Chain A
Amino acid sequence: MTKSSRRRTLAAVSAASVALLALAGCSSSSSGSGGSGSITLTEMDYYGSAPQNSQIQGVLTQCGNQVGVKVVHQEAPRAQLVPKLLQDAAARTLPDLMLVDNPDLQQLASTGGLVSLSANGLSTTGLYPSIISAGQYQGQTYGIAPGVNDLALYYNKDLFTKAGLSAPTTWAQLSADAKTLTSGSTKGIAFSAAATEEGSFQFEPFFWSAGADLKTLDSPQAVQALTLWQSLVSGGYASKSVVDWTQSDVEAQFQAGNAAMMVNGPWQLPLLDAAKGLNFGVVSIPVPAAGQPSVSPLGGEVWSVGHSSSDREQKAVAVVKCLLTPSMSAEWSKDAGYIPSDEASAQQLATTDPQLAPFIAEVGTAKARTAELGTQYPKVSTALWDAIQQALAGGTSPQAALSQAQGQAGSGS
C-alpha cells in the first residue's frame, strides 16, 4: 500500500465513522416490523410478584396460540410503568398490549396513543359498572379488566381466639383489638402507607367509609380517617415501618405472624393458602359506626392496545378479545387471586368460595378511583399519600397534613 492510498483509506474510515455516528446518534430508530411471516406482539405490565407474574405468561401464550401470534411478556416496576409508557407513546413505540392500573388508564388514553376497544367491537356488557367507567375516556372504551379486586381485613384466627376476640366491624373495635393483640414482636395491624399509589389505595376504604370525597381532602371525615391511622401507628399497634411497606411487604408481615390483622386484597389468597400453619379469616374493612356501608376502592388492571400498524393492532385486539372471554378471565382470576369482572360469574363464585365472598360482597359497591376526578386522579392521589406520610412519619396533625394536601392538589391543575 502506498503512502497516499493509506492516507486516503484513513480519511475514508474517519469519514465513515462520522456518518455512522451521525446515524446512530441523531436518526430516529425505525422499528423493525417482522414483515409478513409470524407476528410477535409485546405485552407490558407491572406484576412484580407472585401469583400474578408467574401466571400471566400462561394466559398470554394460550391466547397468542389461538390468534396465531407470539406474545412476549415484559414487566416494569409499578412506579415506572406509566412514565415508560408515556415515553413510548412519544416515540410511537407503545407495546401492543398493556395491562395498566385502572386509575392510570384515562391519563394514558388522553395521550391519544391507545386503540379504542369499543370501536373495534369489544363489549363490556355484564361487567361491573365501576370497572367499565374506569376504562372509558371521552365516551370510548380504551381499557377492559379481565378481573378486579378490592380490599378487606385479614385476621389471624389463632391470635384472635387466644385473646378471646372476634373480628372487628367498627373502628372502635379495630383500635381496641389492635391494642389487645399487640405484644412483643407482634403488632395489632399492618397496612401499606407507602409513597406510591398503593398507599392511597389502602387508605381509601377508610377515607370513603368515613364519608370523605377526593375533591375535598381536608374534610372533617377525611381527618377522622387519618386520625385513626395515626393513632394506630403512634400507639405502637402498627409498625412505624408502614410508611415503607408495599402490599407484598404487608402480606409477608402477616404471614410471618408479625401482625394480627392486615388490610389487603384477594390476590394474596393463593400465597396465604399455601402458607403452612396459618389460620386466617377475611372480613369487610371496619366502618366508623355499626351499620354504615364499607366502601372499598376498585382495584385491578385493564387490558389496552397501543397504536401500531393496522394488522398488528387487529391481532392485538383479537388477543385481548380472547383474554376477556368468560372462561379465560375466570381462569386468570382464579390463578391470580382476582374477582372475575363479569358480575354474574362473580356472584356465582361467591356462593362456592367463602374466602372470596367478603371481597365479592364489597366489589359491587367499590368505587372507581377516577370516577370523580378523571385524569386529575394521579395528582390528587400524590397529595393524599404525602399527607398520610406526613401524619404517620412526621408527627404532623392529620388536619394540617390534609389541608396542605388539599392546597397541593388544588394548585395549578
Chain B
Amino acid sequence: MASMLSEKAPAAIAAGAAPRRRGRRTAWRAAGFVVPVWVYILCFYVYPLVSNVKMGFQNYSVASFYTGSAPFIGFANYTAVFRDPQFMSIVVDTVLFTIGSLAFQFGIGMGLAVFFRRVFPLNGVLRSLLLVPWLLPLVVSGTVWRWMMYNDSGVINYTLLHLHLIGQPVPWLASTNMSLVAVIIVNIWVGIPFNMVILYGGLQALPEQVFEAAALDGANAWQRFTRITLPMLRPVILVVLTLGLIYTVKVFDVIMIVTQGGPANSSQTLTTYAYDLSFNQLMFGQGAAVGNILILVAVVFAGIYLRAVRDRDGEGRR
C-alpha cells in the first residue's frame, strides 16, 4: 500500500511526457474502479427497486410466478389497497406505532445519555450493558418478550398481579386494544440503545466551558439542559429522530415475532401489511403497491435526513 502511494508523485511528473495516452489510460483505470460499484448498485439496489415499482402496476398472481408474465393494470392495485376497509386503521396504527416508539425511545435515550455524562463508578460497564438490546438477535429477544407477555403464564402479568397493580391479567397479545401497545413497548426497548449512543456521542462533543460558565451565572440543571444542551445538540437530535423515524416506519421483525400483526390485524403496520398481502394472501401486486408507498415515505424522510446532515457538516466547517 505504502509503495503504491509513494508512486503517485513520479507518476504525476511522468504524465507530462505522453499526456493524451496517459489521460485515456487514467480514464480506463478510473472506470475499472467505478464500474464494479455501479454494477453492484444496479444489480442489488436499482433492479429490485424498479421491479417493485413495476410490480405495483401489475396483476401479479400465483400463476405469474410460473409463467413469468403479468398484465399491467395501471393504478388498480393502489385503488384496491386504498379501498380495503383495513387500510385506514393500518395507517393510523403505523403512525401511532412510529410516534409512540420514537417519543419514548428518544426521551429515555436522552435521559440516559445525560445521566451517563456524569462521572461515577461502573459508568462504562452500565453503559455497555444498556447496549444489550441492540446486540441480541431480535428473534431471541422478541421471543422472550412474547413469553413474558403471555396472558396466563407471562411473567409481566404475574408480577403486576402480585404487586396488586392490576386486578385482571392484561391480555397484551390477546386483545385488539393491547397488542399495539405491546409491540410499541418492545420496539421502545429495542430502540433505546441506538438513541442513547448517538446522543451520548453528541453530548461528549459539547464544550464543557459553556456549562461551567452557565453554572457560574446561576443557571440550574434544568435551565442548562433546555437553554444549552438542547440548542447545541439540535443537529444531532435531528439526525437521531429522522434516522429513528425511517427505522421505525419499516420495523418488521419486532411485530412479526411478537404478535404477527394480530390479533385480527390490530398490530399490523404498513410493513407487515405488505408482507401479509404478498405472502399470505398471495396478491403480490398489492403488496408491492404498499411497499412502494413505504418507499415514498422513507425517501421523503431520507431527504430531510440528508439536509440535516449537510447543515450539520456546514456548521462544523464554519
Contacts and interface: CB of A to CB of B under 8 A. Distances in A.
Interface stretch (A21-29, A156-164, A328-336, A358-366): A21-29
Contacts, number: 129
B36 A21 contact: yes
Contacts of B85: 404, 407-408
B133 interface: no
Interface in A231-250: 239-244
B174 interface: yes
Contacts of B150: 241, 244
- Tier of interface size on chain A: 35 or more
A112 B174 contact: no
Interface string A241-282: 111100000000000001000000000000000000000000
A241 B36 contact: no
A412 interface: yes
B29 A10 contact: yes
A393 B263 contact: yes
Contacts of B33: 14
Interface stretch (B96-104, B274-282, B302-310): B274-282
A386 interface: yes
B280 A21 contact: no
Nearest to A383: B281
Given A25-B44, A241-B152, A386 B36 contact: no
Contacts of B265: 386, 389
Interface stretch (B62-70, B186-194, B235-243): B62-70
Contacts of B264: 195, 243, 386, 389-390, 393-394, 396
Contact of A393 (B32, B39, B171, B282): B171
* Interface size bracket, B side: 35 or more
SS class of chain A's interface: helix, strand, loop or mixed? Answer: helix
Interface in A104-138: 107, 110-113
Interface of B (DSSP majority class): helix
Nearest to B179: A393
A7 B179 CA distance: 61
B65 A89 contact: yes
A22 B37 CA distance: 11
A107 B36 contact: no
B213 to A, nearest CB: 55
Contacts of B35: 14, 18
Contacts of B29: 7, 10-11, 14
B7 A21 contact: no
A370 to B, nearest CB: 15
Contacts of A378: 281-282
A240 B171 contact: yes
Contacts of B263: 195, 243-244, 389, 392-394
A240 B280 contact: no
A382 B33 CA distance: 51
A34 interface: no
A15 B35 CA distance: 9
B262 A185 contact: no
A408 B68 CA distance: 28
A404 B65 CA distance: 30
Contacts of A389: 176, 262-265
Contact of B176 (A90, A393, A412): A393
Contacts of A382: 280-281
Contacts of B222: none
Given A26-B43, A80-B279, A382-B281, A111 B66 contact: yes
Interface in B75-94: 80, 85
A90 B67 CA distance: 7
Contact of A379 (B65, B266, B281): B281
Interface string A297-322: 00000000000000000000000000
Interface in A2-37: 3, 7, 10-11, 14-15, 17-18, 21-22, 25-26
B260 to A, nearest CB: 6
A283 interface: no
B39 A239 contact: no
B52 interface: no
A112 B63 contact: yes
Given A239-B152, A243-B263, 5 more contacts: A26-B43, A80-B279, A244-B150, A393-B264, A394-B266
Interface of A: 3, 7, 10-11, 14-15, 17-18, 21-22, 25-26, 79-80, 82-83, 86-87, 89-90, 107, 110-113, 185, 195, 239-244, 258, 378-379, 382, 386, 389-390, 392-396, 404, 407-408, 412
21 contacts: A11-B28, A18-B35, A21-B40, A21-B43, A26-B47, A79-B280, A83-B282, A86-B62, A89-B65, A111-B63, A239-B151, A239-B174, A241-B173, A378-B281, A389-B263, A389-B265, A393-B179, A393-B262, A393-B266, A394-B175, A394-B263
For the complex of A and B, the 8 pairs showing the least CB-CB separation, nearest first, are A25-B43, A14-B32, A389-B264, A394-B176, A393-B263, A90-B65, A240-B174, A243-B263
